[in-house]
């Protein structure tokens, strides 16, 4: 069986585990290519997707439509019933459902959680059963894979790095808008930039939910990153990355500005990557 992976949205969190699971089951893992995504971006249904990261994800799915028998896509948020902020945006609240509705003629979608936690066993075993159709094989493969069912461990971040008295600035935003390329594009010689994507998302989410329990997970992650960064004496200000086409991001920006007592500079990813190339810089491919 050919299993395609939509890698655009938070693949760095869940991709290694689910790719290894597919390979361990003897299936073939397929990934989008830049050429395929570039062609798919011209599709009418894909072009109508409002936010750039989700447009790229939809293009990846379409590019894999003829290359895979099933597509693995991320479940960005738990079904919480929250109807504020990102909870009002179907692409954020229910990415698999929004993708299925917006882009016709896709293979069956298999949605998986972005957090690889011990409770992932039931979903992993169900996926293996769909791939293998043999209970004994499923047990053997899962026995080998069980030790890998844990989230990636972030590397330590130095918030106190101040050679030459650089100003420490926290970079926060929806997690699918932050990567190394965005960090480089927004860094300046006078700043020591610490990006949210280098921190533990589960800890950030817990921090955000303590401040406001009526948030979906990804909004809570951003709020938690902003609050925890703003509490640090070494952090002078925050840069908040948003998508100019997202009403949910505009709501979140207002929420963050009210929640912290340090300057917040709101920057659209479109402006941030205007010179570097929006699609090339934001695109996420197969894991290294």
163-282 shares the fold of 2-148: yes
What ranges do the domains of the chain cover?
2-148, 163-282
| 248 Cβ contact list (under 8 Å, min separation 6) | 85, 86, 88, 89, 92, 219
Q: Is the pLDDT of residue 164 over 70?
A: no
pLDDT at position 82, please? 84
Question: Most distant CA pair in the chain: distance in Å?
Answer: 62
Structural fold of domain 2-148: Rossmann fold (3.40.50)
3-state class of 110 per DSSP?
strand
Which residues in 180-207 are b (16+ Cβ under 10 Å) and which e? ebbbebbeeeebbbbbbbebebbebbeb
Ordered strands of the 167-173 beta sheet: 191-195, 167-173, 235-242, 264-268
3-state class of 173 per DSSP?
strand
pLDDT at position 171, please? 98
Q: How far is the C-alpha of 267 from the C-alpha of 127, rounded, in Å? A: 40
Q: Per residue in 203-213, pLDDT tens?
A: 999 999 999 99
Q: Is the pLDDT of residue 288 over 60?
A: no
Q: How crowded is residue 16: how many other Cβ atoms within 10 Å of its Cβ?
A: 14
Which residues in 240-278 are b (16+ Cβ under 10 Å) and which e? bbbbebbebbebbbebbeebbeeebebbbbeebbeeeeb
3-state class of 69 per DSSP?
coil
When comparing pLDDT for 1 and 161, which is higher? 1
pLDDT at position 276, please? 67
Cα 63 to chain centroid, rounded? 19
Closest to 110 in 3D by CA, of 140, 131, 93: 131
pLDDT averaged over the chain? 93
Q: What is the mean pLDDT of residues 255-261?
A: 97
Q: How far is the C-alpha of 111 from the C-alpha of 71, rounded, in Å? A: 8
Q: Which CATH number fits domain 163-282: 3.30.70, 1.10.3470, 3.40.1350, 3.40.50?
A: 3.40.50
What is the full DSSP assignment across 175-220? GGG-SHHHHHHH--TTEEEEEGGGS-HHHHHHHHHHH-SSS-HHHH
Q: Per residue in 76-129, pLDDT tens?
A: 998 888 889 999 999 999 999 999 999 999 999 999 999 998 889 999 999 999
Q: Per residue in 127-150, pLDDT tens?
A: 999 999 999 999 999 999 999 998
H helix or E strand, kind and range, residue 95:
helix 95-102
Q: Give 241's strand partners.
A: 173, 267
Q: Assess contact for 149 and 118: CB atoms under 8 A.
A: yes
Q: Per residue in 207-240, pLDDT tens?
A: 999 999 999 999 999 999 999 999 999 999 999 9
């Amino acid at each position: 069986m050919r299993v395609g992976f939509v890698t655009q949205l938070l693949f760095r969190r869940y991709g290694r585990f689910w790719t290894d699971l597919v390979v361990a089951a003897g299936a073939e893992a397929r990934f989008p290519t830049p050429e395929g995504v570039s062609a798919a971006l011209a599709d009418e249904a894909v072009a109508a997707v409002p936010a750039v990261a989700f447009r790229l994800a939809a293009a990846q799915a379409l590019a894999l439509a003829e290359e895979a028998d099933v597509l693995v896509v991320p479940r960005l948020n738990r079904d919480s019933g929250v109807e504020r902020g990102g909870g009002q945006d179907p692409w954020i609240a229910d990415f698999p459902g929004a993708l299925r509705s917006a882009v016709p003629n896709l293979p069956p979608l298999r949605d998986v959680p972005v957090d690889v936690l011990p409770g992932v066993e039931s979903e992993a075993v169900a996926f293996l059963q769909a791939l293998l159709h043999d209970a004994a094989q499923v047990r053997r493969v899962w026995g080998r894979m069980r030790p890998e069912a844990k989230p990636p461990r972030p590397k330590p971040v130095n918030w106190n790095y101040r050679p030459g008295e650089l100003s420490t600035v926290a970079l926060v935003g929806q997690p699918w808008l932050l990567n190394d390329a965005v960090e480089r594009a927004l860094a300046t010689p006078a700043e020591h930039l610490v990006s949210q994507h280098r921190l533990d998302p589960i800890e950030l989410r817990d921090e955000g939910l303590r401040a406001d329990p009526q948030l979906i997970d990804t909004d809570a992650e951003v709020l938690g990153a902003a609050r925890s960064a703003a509490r640090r004496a070494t952090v002078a200000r925050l840069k908040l990355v948003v998508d100019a086409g997202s009403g949910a991001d505009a709501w979140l920006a207002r929420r963050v500005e009210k929640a912290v007592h340090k300057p917040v500079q709101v920057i659209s990813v479109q402006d941030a990557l205007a010179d570097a190339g929006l699609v090339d810089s934001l695109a996420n491919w197969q894991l290294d």
